[in-house]
Chain A
């Protein structure tokens, strides 16, 4: 067994429906601000429900030179912007780091907007209108490639497409490569932009709520879609200490599991295992966990299964663990979700503030966890677990620990 290096988070970036930039994002989380609004970026007249966590007022040119920005699809733009934020936050001067030991890991569900455009053109038989440049930007792994090219990161480069949990897979793998000494730095996170196929699909499954997302509430009607990007600057502790970097948190480990049950429905034991492994591989005990940023989509099925799993893992101690779902504010940003939630967890362990589950009105006996209802809470957070569960039972739980030096 190799000697594992410690992995820390030295920079954060967020492009979200409640705030663009880590400060705006964190403030909004503390305030319990909702990012759900009527969608304006595409024609919703054919949709039954027309609201979502849209990232409004994101201007790529504020982060990326316009001549470069115009080539990228929206997801790449958001990922690069969030990455720039994380890099700047970490005060990394690109010229001074070894590019070959700098990697990029990204998670997504659908990938790039041009793919949607292409698919639309194909559906209408308009082959001749296909623009070569747009095709080049439609491959799902464009996000990780564009980001690495932009930041000249020449280390490992991965694209995870494990849907709703993809961000966690990217963060976990980035941490693995730093822990085993292959990389010193890694931009890791997720990005997804609105994809109307997702709106059609979730609505057709009757999984979507009309107005607001109410995780854990007895009358919850379903999930809502969001978009955005969250990126973490992961670094070896050695490197961070050498250059006197600020440290948000440590990533001591993560747990994966697969339900092997059903293509869309969640399984309690599968989810529980992901959390157990995160705790185990981090060398922790379940009583060390003070906060869980839940997957908490707000669907009847997920929240019930997740709460049952939490009870299984935390046993009689479960009521002592604060559990909140920031999807209540952001909606479900798909591949970006667990990454944006990881950013929230980093803030939580650093500043001992837990963001709330908003829109909570009526307790559900099947979800009798402490859901930090409606108002954020000042509370010591030693360890946070970040849950992400995707279609196909692809589960990933990342442990985020207070850095105590």
Chain B
């Protein structure tokens, strides 16, 4: 997948996560940890995963879900699934 397209996708993901966590897009860093830094509880984490799955029509394997701890993790997980 071309670099440019994935940058667009990253922006969309940020928007999704901003909408769920109510943290403004500008304050969402790739490294910020969902639980410790962004106040994301288990239900919200599930919501983030579900909304990404729905938007990009992918299924994130159940065992990988606990690994999704920050936006950086989301990008890592999603990129191969979109190819």
CA distance A264 to B42 in the complex (A): 10
Q: Which of B11-43 contact A (CB under 8 A)?
A: 41-43
Q: Which of A218-275 contact B (CB under 8 A)?
A: 262-265
Contact of A264 among B43, B50, B62, B65 (CB under 8 A): B43
A206 touches B62 (CB 8 A): yes
B43 touches A263 (CB 8 A): yes
Which chain A residues lie closer than 8 Å to B65 at the CB level? 206
In the assembled complex, B46 has its CB within 8 A of some CB on chain A: yes
B42 touches A265 (CB 8 A): yes
* B33 CB, min distance to chain A CBs, angstroms: 20
CA distance A204 to B51 in the complex (A): 12
In the assembled complex, A197 has its CB within 8 A of some CB on chain B: no
In the assembled complex, A149 has its CB within 8 A of some CB on chain B: no
* Number of residues of chain B lying within 8 A (CB) of chain A: 7
CA distance A204 to B62 in the complex (A): 10
* B48 CB, min distance to chain A CBs, angstroms: 13
Q: Which of A263-300 contact B (CB under 8 A)?
A: 263-265
* B28 CB, min distance to chain A CBs, angstroms: 24
Which chain B residue lies CB-closest to A301? B42
Which chain A residues lie closer than 8 Å to B50 at the CB level? 204
CA distance A264 to B50 in the complex (A): 17
B46 touches A206 (CB 8 A): yes
Which chain B residue lies CB-closest to A206? B62
* B27 CB, min distance to chain A CBs, angstroms: 25
* B4 CB, min distance to chain A CBs, angstroms: 33
Which chain B residues lie closer than 8 Å to A205 at the CB level? 46
Which chain B residues lie closer than 8 Å to A264 at the CB level? 43
Which chain A residues lie closer than 8 Å to B46 at the CB level? 204-206
Which chain A residues lie closer than 8 Å to B62 at the CB level? 206
What 0/1 readout, one digit per residue, does chain B (51-83) give for beta carbons within 8 Å of chain A? 000000000001001000000000000000000
CA distance A204 to B65 in the complex (A): 12
Which chain A residue lies CB-closest to B65? A206
Which chain A residues lie closer than 8 Å to B41 at the CB level? 262
Which chain B residue lies CB-closest to A263? B43
CA distance A265 to B43 in the complex (A): 9
What 0/1 readout, one digit per residue, does chain A (199-221) give for beta carbons within 8 Å of chain B? 00000111000000000000000
CA distance A332 to B50 in the complex (A): 25
Which chain A residues lie closer than 8 Å to B43 at the CB level? 262-265
What 0/1 readout, one digit per residue, does chain A (164-176) give for beta carbons within 8 Å of chain B? 0000000000000
Which chain B residues lie closer than 8 Å to A265 at the CB level? 42-43
Which chain A residues lie closer than 8 Å to B42 at the CB level? 265
CA distance A206 to B41 in the complex (A): 15
CA distance A263 to B41 in the complex (A): 12
Which chain B residues lie closer than 8 Å to A206 at the CB level? 46, 62, 65
Which chain A residue lies CB-closest to B49? A206
Which chain A residue lies CB-closest to B53? A204
CA distance A263 to B44 in the complex (A): 12
Which chain A residue lies CB-closest to B59? A48
CA distance A265 to B41 in the complex (A): 11
Which chain B residues lie closer than 8 Å to A263 at the CB level? 43
Which chain A residue lies CB-closest to B43? A264
* A350 CB, min distance to chain B CBs, angstroms: 42
Which chain A residue lies CB-closest to B50? A204
* B62 CB, min distance to chain A CBs, angstroms: 6
Which chain A residue lies CB-closest to B46? A205
CA distance A265 to B42 in the complex (A): 9
CA distance A226 to B4 in the complex (A): 49
CA distance A173 to B55 in the complex (A): 46
* A381 CB, min distance to chain B CBs, angstroms: 37
What 0/1 readout, one digit per residue, does chain A (367-391) give for beta carbons within 8 Å of chain B? 0000000000000000000000000
CA distance A117 to B38 in the complex (A): 41
Residue picked from B41, B43, B65, most chain A C-beta under 10 Å:
B43
CA distance A262 to B42 in the complex (A): 11
* B47 CB, min distance to chain A CBs, angstroms: 10
What 0/1 readout, one digit per residue, does chain A (145-178) give for beta carbons within 8 Å of chain B? 0000000000000000000000000000000000
CA distance A151 to B42 in the complex (A): 46
7 contacting pairs across A/B (C-beta < 8 A): A205-B46, A206-B62, A206-B65, A262-B43, A263-B43, A265-B42, A265-B43
Chain B interface residues (CB < 8 Å from chain A): 41-43, 46, 50, 62, 65
What 4 A-B pairs come out closest when comparing CB atoms?
A206-B62, A264-B43, A205-B46, A204-B50
